[in-house]
């Protein structure tokens, strides 16, 4: 399709451009001002004024007497498909920007530029079309309105973060990453932490509770012990929860990768990543916890046969 140039109503010599007809050569319906007859001619012939009237009247007119400088601009590509005011999925088409682009408004209120091809494809397939942020929100499995522990998820803020309100008496508001809520790493503003710690500590080194290594003969007598028969080269990692949090709470590394990272970069590398995250989140906003950091211990063994 030829380049569209707005000329409707303009006068060139003794003709007036009335209506754009389109076609391969960009034809216009015109009116001859000499005889009031309508005729069709190409747009470029009108602009360069090689045609100044209908064929009949042009024979007795002197072109030099009628050539004028009209201010004709390229305003846009005339859209081949008029989609103005159409609702396609979650977007409303506002107007054409030219070059195959359309200004649209998403249901969230954000205005976006969309290729006409993408709009037509969504229309033909019956699929929903949204802005990039809304599409990303859908991929995250939006959890707005749900409850995790004492957190009520109020709304999605973008980039995986949610605004949450704690259902305790303080009604604390915080911004929390969605992964922490889904994994159960963050359950409250801290109101549950104290109660959980007290209950947990009361079970420590008691029958029916759990046994932890400390300066207690009773704890040592009830420890779990055993032997491992090592036949091949083996990697072993023993950690405290202040070190294992790199994979099971903070999600910095995958559990399966911890041994390889320790072998290649050392346990100091893992430790530095843990402390960096905890220092950046020193207000416990992303990861709710009783204190900024816990004791972090690790024993890594690389056994060769």
Contact 270, 246 (CB under 8 A): yes
Residue 28 lies in a domain: yes
**Are 126 and 150 in the same domain?**
no
Residue 159 lies in a domain: yes
pLDDT, tens only, 28-58: 889 999 899 989 888 888 888 888 888 888 8
Residue 195 lies in a domain: no
pLDDT at 46: 86
**Are 232 and 292 in the same domain?**
yes
**Are 247 and 267 in the same domain?**
yes
**Are 237 and 303 in the same domain?**
yes
Q: Is pLDDT at 299 greater than 90 in this prediction?
A: yes
**What percent of the chain has a predicted confidence (pLDDT) above 70?**
89
How confident is residue 73, by pLDDT bands cut at 50, 70 and 90? very low
pLDDT, average across residues 258-285 = 90
Q: Is pLDDT at 122 greater than 70 in this prediction?
A: yes
Q: Is pLDDT at 152 greater than 90 in this prediction?
A: no
How confident is residue 70, by pLDDT bands cut at 50, 70 and 90? low
Q: Highest mean pLDDT range out of 1-10, 192-201, 210-219, 253-262?
A: 253-262
pLDDT, average across residues 126-151 = 78
**Are 232 and 264 in the same domain?**
yes
Residue 199 lies in a domain: no
Residue 221 lies in a domain: no
Structural domain range at position 125: 87-137
State the total domains in the chain. Answer: 4
pLDDT at 289: 76
pLDDT at 149: 82
**Are 108 and 95 in the same domain?**
yes
Domain boundary among 104, 120, 137: 137
What residues contact 122, with CB distance under 8 A and at least 6 apart? Answer: 88, 89, 128, 129
Q: What is the mean pLDDT of the chain?
A: 81
pLDDT at 80: 55
Q: How far apart are CA 297 and CA 237, in angstroms?
A: 10
**Are 125 and 161 in the same domain?**
no
CB burial of residue 36 (10 Å; 0-12, 13-18, 19+)? exposed
**What percent of the chain has a predicted confidence (pLDDT) above 90?**
14
**Are 237 and 298 in the same domain?**
yes
Q: What is the pTM of this model?
A: 0.36
In Å, how far are 140, 199, 218 from 205, measured between CA atoms? 41, 13, 8
Q: Is pLDDT at 125 greater than 50 in this prediction?
A: yes
Query: Does 97 or 169 have the greater pLDDT score?
Result: 97
Q: Is pLDDT at 76 greater than 60 in this prediction?
A: no
How confident is residue 74, by pLDDT bands cut at 50, 70 and 90? very low
pLDDT at 194: 66
């Amino acid at each position: 399709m030829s380049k569209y140039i707005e000329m409707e109503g303009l006068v060139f010599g003794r003709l007036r451009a009335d209506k754009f007809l389109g076609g391969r050569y960009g034809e216009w319906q015109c009116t001859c001002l000499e005889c009031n007859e309508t005729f069709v001619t190409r747009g470029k012939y009108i602009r360069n004024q090689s045609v100044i009237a209908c064929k009949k009247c042009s024979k007795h007119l002197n072109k030099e007497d009628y050539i004028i400088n009209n201010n004709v601009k390229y305003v846009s590509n005339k859209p081949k498909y008029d989609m103005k005011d159409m609702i396609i999925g979650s977007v409303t088409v506002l107007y054409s920007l030219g070059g195959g682009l359309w200004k649209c408004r998403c249901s969230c209120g954000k205005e976006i530029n969309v290729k006409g091809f993408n709009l037509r494809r969504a229309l033909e397939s019956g699929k929903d079309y949204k802005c990039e942020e809304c599409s990303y929100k859908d991929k995250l499995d939006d959890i707005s309105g749900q409850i995790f522990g004492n957190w009520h998820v109020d709304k999605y803020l973008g980039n995986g973060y949610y605004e949450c309100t704690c259902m305790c008496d303080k009604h604390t508001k915080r911004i929390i990453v969605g992964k922490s809520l889904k994994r159960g790493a963050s359950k409250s503003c801290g109101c549950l932490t104290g109660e959980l710690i007290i209950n947990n500590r009361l079970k420590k080194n008691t029958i029916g509770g759990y046994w932890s290594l400390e300066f207690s003969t009773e704890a040592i007598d009830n420890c779990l012990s055993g032997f491992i028969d090592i036949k091949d080269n083996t990697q072993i990692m023993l950690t405290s929860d202040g070190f294992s949090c790199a994979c099971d709470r903070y999600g910095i590394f995958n559990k399966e990768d911890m041994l390889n990272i320790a072998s290649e970069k050392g346990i100091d590398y893992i430790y530095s990543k843990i402390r960096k995250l905890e220092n950046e989140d020193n207000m416990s906003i992303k990861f709710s916890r009783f204190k900024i950091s816990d004791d972090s211990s690790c024993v890594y063994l690389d056994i060769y046969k």
